[in-house]
Amino acid sequence: MRSRCGADRRDFLKKCLTGVAVLGASGRIGLLAAAEEGAALAKSRVVVARDAMLRGTGTTVDSGRMLTLLDRAMQALFDRDNPIEPWKKLVHPGEMVGLKVNALGGRGLSSNVQLVEAICERLQEAGIKASDIVVWDRDSDEMEHVGFHVVAGGNRVQCFGTDRVDYEPELSTFGSVGSRLSKILTQRCNVLINVPVLKDHDGAGVTIALKNMYGVIHNPNKYHPNGCNPYIADLNMLPEIRSKMRLTICDASTACFEGGPGYKPEYSWKNNGLIVSQDPVALDYTGWQVIERKRAEKGLKTLEGDKRAPNYIATAADAQHRLGANDPKRIAMVEA
């Protein structure tokens, strides 16, 4: 596991210290047992935060309520009382932070502008310069179409697509994947915050955190066979992605339970929530369960029954990848 939240680390240390005490009392076996128990208890935290009044009495998301919802989610994830503290743990002044949004679903099912503004606000309060933040996806026009304003240059938060800077000329490879990476990822940011959308996906089953990295490469269309498996997991193993990824904030304000990844209102629902985690595999597993519950409510088959279970999630967790946890016993789901 690459990263865990502070609370889990504290739990782990507490268990280890308990082990030291046990060693004094009953020797080496006691310590090993305690350490193993501690490791088994180290869980990936996934926060599911909701606000039934996120849209007030209207249909669009309220900016103030979104900021409050984000604070609640981040404070729960990092076990902090102050809304700025989680961000200070996450990023440091001088770092260049990329927010990889998802604008592919078009209007109605793309990363919410209000959410991205709230993240940018907190990042700046944590000491990141506005011009060191870049909001990005593959295409500037697609981003503008869903409400982002393209900004390139100056002292403001930067916002543009890879079309403005192109992909690296050389391929990055891992396993089944060989792709040219966006220069925004390779040259414009050393910290990546993933801001995907909670969606059903025709091929992969679901598209949430891990699949959103398809928007980072020049040839995503090559990686859809076999339910995108093992392509999604392999792609997320690329060092440029894996080493920079610090957090996923999944926009689940409007989510999609069927017919994704494009927006189809009849298959979407106003979920009014966020799902936040530092473990993208645990987040995808949790999001998958949210989608399954909605499918059951609507009388649809499970994704397994529809022959498109998101098997890529298990691949991402396997011994060759270890991108995170897909075992529910190793996921601490927190509602906030």
Partner 1 sequence: MKTRGVLLVMLIALLLEAGCKRQAGTAGSFFPASNQVAGWATTGEIRTFEAADLWKYIDGEAERYLKAGAQRVSTADYKFQNKIDAAVDIYTMANAEGAETIFRGEPPVDVKPIQLGDAARLSSQSLMFRKGRFLVRIVAFEESAETQQALSQLGQGIELRFGR
Answer for which of 261, 280, 287, 310 binds partner 1 (CB under 8 A) is 261
293 near partner 1 (CB under 8 A): no
Answer for which of 35, 264, 320, 334 binds partner 1 (CB under 8 A) is 264
Closest contact distance (angstroms) between CB of 108 and partner 1 is 6
| Cα 38 to Cα 232: distance, rounded to the nearest angstrom | 30
Answer for which of 83, 86, 98, 220 binds partner 1 (CB under 8 A) is 220
Is 160 or 257 the residue whose CB approaches partner 1 more closely? 257
CA angle 150, 156, 161 (to 5 degrees): 30
Which residues have a Cβ under 8 Å from the Cβ of 198 and sit 6 or more positions away?
A: 206, 208, 250, 251, 252, 255, 256, 271, 275, 287, 290, 291
| Cα 79 to Cα 82: distance, rounded to the nearest angstrom | 9
57 near partner 1 (CB under 8 A): no
Closest contact distance (angstroms) between CB of 225 and partner 1 is 8
**Range in contact with partner 1 (rule: CB under 8 A) among 121-129, 178-186, 243-251, 265-273:** 265-273
202 near partner 1 (CB under 8 A): yes
Judge contact between 204 and 256, C-beta under 8 A.
no
92 near partner 1 (CB under 8 A): no
Closest contact distance (angstroms) between CB of 39 and partner 1 is 37
Closest contact distance (angstroms) between CB of 91 and partner 1 is 30
Judge contact between 170 and 276, C-beta under 8 A.
no
106 near partner 1 (CB under 8 A): yes
| Cα 307 to Cα 190: distance, rounded to the nearest angstrom | 38
204 near partner 1 (CB under 8 A): yes
Q: Which amino acid is at 233?
A: A
Kindly state the number of chain residues that form the binding site for partner 1, as judged by CB under 8 A: 27
Grouping H, G, I as helix, E, B as strand and the rest as coil, residue 327 is: coil
262 near partner 1 (CB under 8 A): yes
Burial of 133 (C-beta count, 10 Å sphere; 0-12/13-18/19+): buried
78 near partner 1 (CB under 8 A): no
| Cα 99 to Cα 137: distance, rounded to the nearest angstrom | 9
User: 246: which 2 tokens?
Assistant: 């610090």
**Range in contact with partner 1 (rule: CB under 8 A) among 7-15, 39-47, 214-222, 315-323:** 214-222
258 near partner 1 (CB under 8 A): yes
Answer for which of 28, 81, 299, 307 binds partner 1 (CB under 8 A) is 299
59 near partner 1 (CB under 8 A): yes
**Range in contact with partner 1 (rule: CB under 8 A) among 63-71, 152-160, 219-227, 230-238:** 219-227
Answer for which of 201, 246, 321, 330 binds partner 1 (CB under 8 A) is 201
Reduced to 3 DSSP states, what percent helix, strand and coil does the chain have, rounded to the nearest 5? Answer: 45, 20, 35
Q: Helix/strand/coil (H, E, C) string of 214-273? A: HHHECCHHHHCHHHHCCHHHHHHCCHHHHCCEEEEEEEEEEEECCCCCCCCHHHEEEEEE
| Cα 336 to Cα 334: distance, rounded to the nearest angstrom | 6
Binding residues for partner 1 (CB under 8 A): 59, 104, 106-108, 201-204, 207, 214, 220-221, 224, 258-267, 298-300
